[in-house]
Amino acid sequence: MPTEITEKLGELPAEEFQQLLDGWIADNAGVLRAYEPDESLSVEQVTAFPRRYQNLLYDAGWLRAGWPAEIGGTGGSAERRAQVYESLSAAGYALPETLPTLEVLIPALLSYAPELAIRYSPAFLRGDELWCQGFSETEAGSDLAAMRTRAKRDGDGWVITGHKVWNSYASVSDRCVLLARTGEQSGRHRTISAFLVDMDTPGVQARPITTMTGRNELSEIYFDSVAIPADRLIGQENQGWAFAMFLMQWERGMYAWMRQAWCLHQLEMLRPYITDARFERDFGAAYGRVTALRMVARRTLRRLAEGDFVGPETSVDKLLLSSSEQAVLNLARDVLRGRFELDDSPDMHRWRGDYFYTRSSSIYGGAAEIQRDIVAQRVLGLPRARG
């Protein structure tokens, strides 16, 4: 595609953008097939794989559309990015594993720390770097405001001490967006700050956690008196909770959009196996859940693209996301029974890996029980249950 068109992709009308994108996907089918994920490989072995895939999409201009020019984008709204993710998934191509984290972190960084975003996120967007989130802790559980990792001022910088867990791809990441306490523990969400930490900083150690799939997708991270410059603070001191809540919108908006597109493709792959009438009802029920997720995620994305703060309503997206993923993979388990458990072919290995991964979808990013409470109390206005 000519450079003059690539540089204007983000600003093109939706229909023209879609036509160019569909043509590019069709013309590059062979290249894209080379980036199909291999679930038999470890995270360490495939680290370079999604980065090269991201490089390809960036160089072609598709990953630049929908991002501001300050970080290497070609303008336009988040809806352009959603078109790219939808079209690749619909054509049967997996998205780079690096993109969900990128879609969560960069919008929040652009809003709360534009100087840091301009300086560091271009490499993340190109695929030259991989970042992770450092939020969850063992003692805090689903109560993020109870975190104990601390950051103390030390001259012109900060010193971070603590422990994080369930961090996706932390063992192979270059940087970490971290939440740490910068005031009294009793302050809960009012004394939390956000930081951008280089993973090769002395005192940072990521230890992989092997999941049921056999891959080290998750890690725990130890921070042993880690010294970072003062300018790595994201936003203002004690503004970390607001940063995290802003970030959650994108985790439950754009990520939900990515996953509904993925779910729809999984259902299309299962359709030829639905030869027994007893599975037709389950197929329809799963399709209905994914369609509901698609409609809600579409609404959330449009509001985010317009600059709205969506807030607690995104808990609906999260609940629909986890129930949709699990419904689709439960269907796969039942329809493919026998082969699903015993066949070691690449296809069955992938189905099993996806099944195990979706078991956690009702926990990661906010447990389903917590999301139901948020919807009940903060969206529907129902009274708290008395126990």
Contacts of 29 (CB under 8 A, 6+ apart): none
pLDDT interval class at 37 (50, 70, 90): low
Q: Predicted confidence band at 41 (pLDDT cuts at 50, 70, 90)?
A: low
pLDDT of 44 strictly over 70: no
Q: How many C-beta atoms surround the C-beta of residue 21 within 10 A?
A: 23
8 Å CB contact between 339 and 304? no
304 contacts 310 by C-beta, under 8 angstroms: yes
Give the pair of three-digit tokens for residue 348.
């069955």
For range 164-189, the mean pLDDT: 94
Determine which helix (DSSP H) or strand (DSSP E) holds 194, and give its type and residue range: strand 192-198
pLDDT tier at 38 (50, 70, 90 boundaries)?
Answer: low
Whether the CB-CB separation of 148 and 137 falls below 8 Å is answered with: yes
Single out the residue of 176, 286, 273 nearest to residue 220, CA to CA.
176
Confidence of residue 4 (pLDDT cuts 50, 70, 90): confident
Number of H helices, E strands in the chain: 14, 8
User: Per the structure block, which two tokens stand in for 41?
Assistant: 């490989």
Coil vs helix vs strand at 146 = helix
Confidence of residue 372 (pLDDT cuts 50, 70, 90): very high
266 is written with which tokens? 């999984």
* Whole-Å CA distances, 165 to 21, 103, 119, 127, 244: 38, 21, 27, 24, 17
Lowest mean pLDDT across 84-88, 239-243, 271-275 = 271-275
pLDDT tens digits, 94-139: 898 889 999 999 999 999 999 999 999 999 999 999 999 999 998 8
Question: Is the pLDDT score of 43 beyond 80?
Answer: no
Catalytic residue among 39, 86, 103, 251: 251
Q: Compute the average pLDDT of residues 320-327.
A: 96
Q: What is the pLDDT of residue 45?
A: 63
What pLDDT does 94 receive?
87
Whose CA is closest to 140, among 307, 300, 382, 366? 366
Among 23-27, 71-75, 180-184, 342-346, whose mean pLDDT is lowest?
Answer: 342-346
Residue type, 127: G
Alpha-helical segments (H) within the chain: 3-6, 14-27, 29-33, 43-46, 48-59, 78-90, 99-112, 114-126, 240-270, 277-305, 314-335, 339-342, 346-359, 368-374
Query: Alpha-carbon distance 71 to 114, whole Å?
Result: 10
**CA angle, residues 50, 55, 59, in degrees to nearest 5:** 150
Q: What is the pLDDT of residue 277?
A: 87
Give me 66's structure tokens. 């929908």
pLDDT at 46 over 80: no
d(CA 182, CA 335): 51
Location of structure tokens 């990013």: 365
- Could you give the domains of the chain? 3-129 (1.10.540.10), 132-238 (2.40.110.10), 241-379 (1.20.140.10)
The larger pLDDT score, comparing residue 300 to residue 36, is at 300
Q: What is the largest CA-CA distance in the chain?
A: 70
- Confidence tier at 275 by pLDDT (50, 70, 90): confident
- Rounded Cα distance between 102 and 78, Å, is 13
At 1 the pLDDT is 67
Using the predicted structure, report yes or no on whether residue 237 has a pLDDT greater than 70: yes
Quote the percentage of the chain above a pLDDT of 90: 74
The confidence score (pLDDT) of residue 366 equals: 83
Question: Would you place residue 52 in the very low, low, confident or very high pLDDT band (cuts 50, 70, 90)?
Answer: confident
Q: Is the pLDDT of residue 49 over 90?
A: no
* Distance in angstroms (rounded) separating the CA atoms of residues 364 and 168: 10
Mean pLDDT for 375-379 is: 91
The answer to whether 251 is a known catalytic residue is: yes
pLDDT of residue 2 exceeding 90:
no
